[in-house]
Amino acid sequence: MATQFFGVSKSLQVCDIIGELLEIEPGKSGLSLLDTDQSMCLEKCDIVRGHIIFAQANSLANAIIDSQVSVTGKADIKYLRMVRAGERLIAKARIVDRKGHRIKIETIVRSKEEIVFIGKFTIYGMNLETAEYLHILKEIE
């Protein structure tokens, strides 16, 4: 329901987004929610695996791109503390810079009021024709 009232990602399908997309303003910002559980944790304890938190932040960063296709080119990330099963994570992403197809996005993930993760992503947004053209160029090289 939230995607109908608060915007739709142009670059990703709902199934490609980790967490629930709460709000999106394509080309500007977005917000997502992830309720963690034991299935997301390391086998030996209730600590949520880092790639789960990264996936929430990265998929939200890609979702706010106002292009048909978006891919991550670079990620500068920092985990500020461990997350335990049962914590509710809120991720907020915003575009901080744009130069052509290259878009820089900052994503902050919080548990309650505490920041647990910061990600600075360089995302490349393009249309389907550009994406196909780049794929063909890679095969030629």
pLDDT digits (tens, 9 = 90+) for 2-18: 444 456 665 555 666 77
Domains, the chain, with CATH or none: 2-140 (3.10.129.10)
Q: What angle do CA 54, 44, 76 make, to 5 degrees?
A: 20
Q: Are the C-beta atoms of residues 35 and 90 closer than 8 Å to each other?
A: no
pLDDT at 133: 53
Pairing of strands 114-126, 69-79: antiparallel
Residue listed under structure tokens 């739709």: 8
**This prediction's pTM:** 0.83
